[in-house]
């Protein structure tokens, strides 16, 4: 406990004294909001299904029903989920001027709902969907609500093609402009706070290493080890919903 208290103080001092601090978040920041992790040991979604069968672009184009049957209960969970203390802590850091941008691997929109303003969603989001036939884009919410209710695959209002949520599936490239901006932010930051990410998914997992090569100090808050731990200035093995509010309180002192 004493060790964690000291590390929280160290993390807060780094953030407080930074000229350009940024954050990177992963699935671990939303698990306390009821959204399951994809890679968690034993409980991760990919321990139950083959991601290539349900969440790759190739399987979606051939059998979109596999994706929609799999994501239906997850969609309902995300719609009902509420931001937690970790989301609010990061939003407060931004509101107080300490955090310049938040990069997230999550598609659940919880950072924005907590009040974060500048959010780079490197794996896309569920707010819009695109027709795989004519590429017409629609606001996804009414389609998602109807899909949760009746289970019928959403189709394009113009041509009848299948609608795909604007999220990055396996085999797809992350949104190029968003990823480029995330890389630019990683290069110019002097502190990067990584929260709730195992840093196993590329190319996003490379961002802390890019920041470190450019001289930034990296803070890791995660329940399990990450490839960045040995190079990080602070490594906190604590629940993000506990650690991040503590860091914010120290920053405010």
**Could you report the per-residue pLDDT of 31-59, keeping only the tens digit for each?**
999 998 765 444 445 456 677 888 899 99
Environment class of 172 (CB within 10 Å of its CB; exposed 0-12, middle 13-18, buried 19+): middle
CATH class name, domain 36-80+125-167: alpha beta
Non-local (6+) Cβ contacts of 140 within 8 A are 126, 127, 128, 129, 154, 163, 165, 166
Q: Name the CATH superfamily for 1-33+83-123+173-253.
A: TPP-binding domain (3.40.50.1220)
- Told to judge if 123 belongs to the known catalytic residues of this protein, a careful annotator would answer yes
Domain boundaries, the chain: 1-33+83-123+173-253, 36-80+125-167
Q: Which helix (H) or strand (E) holds 182?
A: helix 176-188
pTM, whole model, 2 decimals? 0.93
- Going by the DSSP 8-state scheme, the letter that residue 233 receives in this structure is S
Q: How far is CA 104 from the centre of its chain?
A: 3
Q: Which of 20, 87, 111, 123 is catalytic?
A: 123
| Number of helical (H) and strand (E) elements in the chain, helices listed first | 10, 9
Q: Read off the pLDDT of residues 3-13 as tens digits, 9 standing for 90 and up.
A: 789 999 999 99
**Under 8 Å between Cβ of 195 and 23:** yes
Spell out, as residue ranges, where the chain has pLDDT lower than 50: 1, 40-44, 46
């Amino acid at each position: 406990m004493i060790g964690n208290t000291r590390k929280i103080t160290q993390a807060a001092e780094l953030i407080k004294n930074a000229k350009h601090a940024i954050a990177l978040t992963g699935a671990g920041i939303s698990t306390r909001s009821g959204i399951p992790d994809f890679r968690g040991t034993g409980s991760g979604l990919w321990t139950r299904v083959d991601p290539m069968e349900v969440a790759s672009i190739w399987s979606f184009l051939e059998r979109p029903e596999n994706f929609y049957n799999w994501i239906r209960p997850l969609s309902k969970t995300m719609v009902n989920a509420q931001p937690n203390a970790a989301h609010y802590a990061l939003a407060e850091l931004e509101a107080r001027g300490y955090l310049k941008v938040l990069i997230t691997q999550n598609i659940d929109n919880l950072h924005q709902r907590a009040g974060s303003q500048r959010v780079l969603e490197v794996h896309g989001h569920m707010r819009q969907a695109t027709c795989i036939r004519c590429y017409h884009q629609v606001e996804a919410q009414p389609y998602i609500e109807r899909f949760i209710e009746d289970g019928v695959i959403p189709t394009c209002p113009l041509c009848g093609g299948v609608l795909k949520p604007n999220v990055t599936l396996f085999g797809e490239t992350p949104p190029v402009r968003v990823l480029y901006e995330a890389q630019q932010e990683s290069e110019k930051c002097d502190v990067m706070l990584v929260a709730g990410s195992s840093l196993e998914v590329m190319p996003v997992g490379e961002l802390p290493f890019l920041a470190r090569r450019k001289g930034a100090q990296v803070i890791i808050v995660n329940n399990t080890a990450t490839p960045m731990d040995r190079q990080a200035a602070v490594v906190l093995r604590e629940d993000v919903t506990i650690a991040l509010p503590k860091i914010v309180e120290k920053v405010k002192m």
